Structure 1
Amino acid sequence: MFGCIVAGRSLQTELNQIDETHAAFELPAAEQINHICVFLLGTVPFPDGYGASVHFFWPGKGFQLLGMLSNEKPSAIFRLRGTFTGQITDAHAVFSGASTPMATDGTPMTDGLPSVTAILGLAIEPLPAILDQMSSLPTAAIVARSCTPALPDATILAENIVKHLFNYISSFVSGTAVTPETPVPLAIIARWYESFIGKVRNVGIGFLDTLE
């Protein structure tokens, strides 16, 4: 149902299912992460009146609310670097079914600290409850994100990236339409990623605006 892309890494679709309403992605080498995009895969919509709150766990800081997803807002991009501090929620008890994030012995050191694994948690909840949680996010941070003219709208950008991936996969399926049951070899997604990153490096992201 969910997917996420850490900038500079491959697409992640495998996640830890905690229970019927909670799931989590493990994010290794979290100290290297700047931005992350999380989105609905388009295979299973939320039930009417429901969405998902998105939480981020950084060792020693607890779970921090990042934002939300809904059928009307199926994707979001979050800046993680510099935002690990903040409100600690009771989500830790819910997501404790995922592997406990900790320093990995023997891994390379970054800025004098061992590499860590963080968690991106998703909780399916009624929309009124999610909106109530969203009201606790710092207003200044929300305004700053929405008023940055140098960056494209995060939602539109994420949707265009997913659309580009869908179009790429569709080109390998001849004579039939792509459905949620269509098997997709991971090698195709890996080739898409390499091609996509190469194009972004060469010409920027302007080509995404021309997708149909």
Structure 2
Amino acid sequence: MTTPFENREEAGRLLAERLSEYAGRSDVIVLALPRGGVPLGLELARALRAPLDLMLVRKLGVPGHEELAMGAITGESRVINEDVVASCGVDNEALEQRTRAEQRELVRRATRYRGDRPWPQLRDRCVILVDDGIATGATMEAAARAVRGQKPATLLLAVPVAPPSIVHRFEPLVDRFICLRYPEAFWAIGAWYRDFSQLTDEQVIAMMETARQLSGASP
């Protein structure tokens, strides 16, 4: 299949069809990478009748070429793409400076999106980690390592699109890798969506509130 998805919501519904065997299980939780993964996470949570929460992770963009990932961080881990760092001539000072800046953004997003609500316990649960696609893999690898460190019973990675070469990178980290399309000519994640509009903080907050209402939690 090489035609683009209409939007993130459609991609989320298609992923939910592939994951229908997990519907209604009390141990399942969906973790979405904001911002782009949240619409897909909401569709999964709706279809699987599962709670939705966030896995906050930030890409470390190459200075001057921010779309190119030289790594990624979560609150618990950092993944560095040594090949990109070397080929772009990024020194350690620049790497640490970018890391500190993205750590501040992680704190801001945690406060903005979640307030003071406690983070979910993942130990012994079935965690479905979802985003709108994988390009270099650094961001998702950092997220997967952070989740794995909390000792879930099962860790699934679910994305609509990824380059074929990326699969082997996640085999040691996850129990199951679900991807709808592996285009040989990958280009970029956005090329595989007709509507790949950027999301705002307000949209993410509204989607998370919808998810809480669906799960029966109080606002």
* Fold match (TM-score > 0.5): no
Larger proportion of helix: 2
Larger proportion of strand: 1
Q: Comparing both chains, which one has the higher relative contact order based on Cα–Cα distances under 8 Å and sequence gaps of 6 or more?
A: 2
Flag the structure with larger Rg: 1
Using the size of structure 2 for normalisation, the TM-score is 0.28
Using the size of structure 1 for normalisation, the TM-score is 0.28
